């Protein structure tokens, strides 16, 4: 009985808040805060601030994996919990946030809701597929990874000043639908976040975009 009781005690999970002290999870939650920041400023119409929040959400998303791989002594439960947390935050960062951006930029007109739904649905399907089947051949994603959505949208928003609001609304709508189609397609794309060179490129991109959009906020 003593051995059984000891075994049962070992199976008891830690408290929920104990996982909030795990550094990779702290990083993931920081990315969630950036997405909330982006959602808030989407609603208020301050799109330069939105872009800063969106790109930093990607930066924190990539960083949590790097931190997790370098930490020693993390249990299997820590890894599973972190993976589940990452997926849930991804749907907010790469599904909900771009969808709200589209609806907001479209002045909350009903015609933008179908596009927002398709973007969100594609994100949910993409994440569910990955959670079920993982990487193809252990090295590549099936469908365009969702973090690319934010990276691309932050880039194309640089050209907003070239077009009037109506034309850029159409460009944003088409871009969102195009990304959604790629997210659920059969194309195979490499896992960029695991490559140190790609991490360095993202860091430079994040700092550069933050500087550009930060400057726009000051004008």
pLDDT in tens, 38-64: 999 999 999 999 999 999 999 999 998
| CA 169 – CA 106 distance, rounded (Å) | 6
The pLDDT tens digits of the residues spanning 130-175 come to 999 988 887 899 999 999 999 999 999 999 999 999 999 999 999 9
pTM comes to 0.90
Bridge pairing between strands 140-142 and 188-190: antiparallel
| CA 45 – CA 101 distance, rounded (Å) | 9
| CA 206 – CA 42 distance, rounded (Å) | 19
* Contact assessment for residue 47 and residue 41, using Cβ atoms and an 8 Å cutoff: yes
Q: Check pLDDT > 70 for residue 4.
A: no
Which range among 23-37, 106-120, 168-182, 193-207 shows the weakest confidence by mean pLDDT? Answer: 193-207
What CATH number should be reported for the domain whose range is 20-218?
1.20.120
Residue 3's pLDDT band, with cuts at 50, 70 and 90, is very low
Average pLDDT, the chain: 91
- Phi then psi for residue 123, to 5 deg, are -65, -45
Residue 73's pLDDT band, with cuts at 50, 70 and 90, is low
* Contact assessment for residue 193 and residue 62, using Cβ atoms and an 8 Å cutoff: yes
Q: Check pLDDT > 50 for residue 123.
A: yes
Q: Domains of the chain: which residue ranges?
A: 20-218
Which neighbouring-strand residues pair with 189?
141
Q: What percent of the chain has pLDDT over 70?
A: 94
């Amino acid at each position: 009985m003593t051995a059984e009781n000891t075994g049962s005690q070992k199976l008891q999970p830690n408290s929920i808040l104990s996982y909030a002290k795990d550094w990779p999870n702290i990083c993931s939650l920081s990315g969630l805060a950036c997405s909330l920041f982006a959602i808030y400023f989407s609603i208020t119409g301050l799109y330069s601030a939105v872009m800063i929040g969106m790109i930093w959400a990607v930066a924190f998303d990539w960083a949590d994996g790097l931190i997790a791989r370098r930490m020693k002594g993390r249990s299997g439960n820590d890894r599973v919990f972190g993976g589940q947390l990452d997926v849930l935050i991804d749907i907010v960062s790469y599904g909900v946030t771009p969808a709200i951006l589209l609806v907001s930029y479209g002045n909350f007109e009903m015609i933008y809701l179908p596009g927002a739904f398709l973007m969100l649905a594609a994100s949910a399907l993409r994440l569910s597929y990955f959670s079920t089947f993982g990487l193809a051949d252990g090295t590549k994603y099936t469908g365009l990874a969702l973090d690319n959505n934010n990276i691309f949208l932050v880039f194309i928003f640089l050209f907003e000043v070239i077009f009037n609001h109506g034309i850029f609304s159409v460009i944003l709508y088409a871009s969102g639908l195009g990304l959604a189609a790629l997210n659920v397609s059969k194309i195979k794309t490499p896992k960029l976040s695991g490559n140190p060179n790609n991490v360095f490129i993202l860091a430079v991109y994040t700092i550069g975009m933050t500087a550009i959009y930060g400057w726009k906020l000051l004008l």
